[in-house]
Homo-oligomer: A and B are copies of this chain.
Amino acid sequence: MSEKSLRIGVIGAGRIGIVHSGSIADTPNATVAYVCDAIADSAEKLATKYGAKHTTNVDDLFTSGDVDAIIVGSPTSTHVDLISRAIDAGIHVLCEKPVDLDIKRANSIKDKVANSKTNVSIAFNHRYDPSFAQAHARFKAGEIGKLEQLILTSRDPAPPPGAYIAVSGGIFRDQAIHDFDIARFFVSEILEVSTFASNVFSDEIKAEGDYDSALTILRGSKGELVSVINSRHSAYGYDQRVEAFGDKGMLQVSNMTPTTVTAYTSGATETRDGYLAFFLERYAASYRKELALFIESIQTGKQLNPTYDDGCKALEIADAATESAKTGKVVTLK
């Protein structure tokens, strides 16, 4: 551990915290310095693995002087406050999506973030998936000409527990927000949103006033049309696809299987495996890339990840989709 090593505090010792801690450990010149979690055992367990300090009191990360940057994987309601405190403490921050469930609260620190001397990044990791990233790069390089239509499919293998649904902000702020960010990755400005949402399989989700299925269409400022297809379940596994249609061609990102084995039996040919189980497996490479870029951002002073503003804009689209689904009206973004 060199003196120049970036000392990272991990807030939230859940799935994401564990993934990022592993990535940090694999990164030269970065160290898991502190782990904070409301559950002391979780914090200790993760901290011990990487020789880090641990605490249940997030104040320790801001005051100890042991932390150069934090990764925020704690509940959404804590995000805005932690970002704000990180800026005050001169600490860099990579914060999970969404920024907040309340766009007003998110917007309340926009200026502060804009003037921050430290790096503030929002963890829309899908942008770093090697396939999504390559499709985007080839689009930007002109391979499909002018983008006309973008079709994004995002279906989870199974719905989250009801307790999570209750605090998730709903399918649009929790799940579809990744797709809205990818929409903004390809289409510079989104003007209008129309959403049809349904409750077709989960009474538990319905009981929370949320939807289990949704189709959203977005209109971009250059006439681009975006279709976002969401479901909270999928019998055949995690389904994450992109179709970018331009006047010169089309690029698609299809799903990933763990192997390249194909089976042939009576009446069923060319059968592939089930897909990679869920986001931790499917986006394993993108989590590593996300962290690497965050560290590089700090080292170079360049913003390489999605910005706080990106986080707010994706949330605005999610809000508009929620409103459209509820009111049955097309919503115009300001």
Contacts and interface: CB of A to CB of B under 8 A. Distances in A.
B235 A250 contact: yes
Interface string A265-278: 11111111111000
A146 B212 CA distance: 14
Interface stretch (A103-111, A221-229, A305-313): A221-229
A325 to B, nearest CB: 11
A56 to B, nearest CB: 27
17 contacts: A130-B258, A138-B263, A146-B200, A146-B201, A148-B201, A149-B215, A151-B151, A234-B245, A236-B265, A236-B269, A251-B263, A252-B261, A253-B262, A254-B260, A268-B274, A269-B271, A270-B271
A130 B256 contact: no
A194 interface: yes
A245 to B, nearest CB: 7
Interface string A114-156: 0000000000000000110011001000011110110101010
A143 B267 CA distance: 14
Contact of A148 (B226, B231, B267, B272): B231
A198 interface: yes
Interface in A197-255: 197-201, 213-219, 222-227, 229, 231, 233-237, 245-255
Nearest to A137: B261
Q: How big is chain A's contact interface, by range?
A: 35 or more
B262 A251 contact: yes
Nearest to A197: B225
A26 B251 CA distance: 36
B270 A201 contact: no
A196 interface: yes
B259 A134 contact: yes
A330 B237 CA distance: 32
Given A148-B200, A223-B198, A268-B274, A215 B217 contact: yes
* 7 nearest CB pairs, A to B: A236-B264, A198-B223, A131-B259, A249-B265, A250-B264, A267-B274, A271-B271
Contacts of A262: 251-254
A138 to B, nearest CB: 7
Contacts of A26: 26
Name, among A134, A144, A145, A249, the residue most crowded by chain B CB atoms within 10 Å (CB to CB): A249
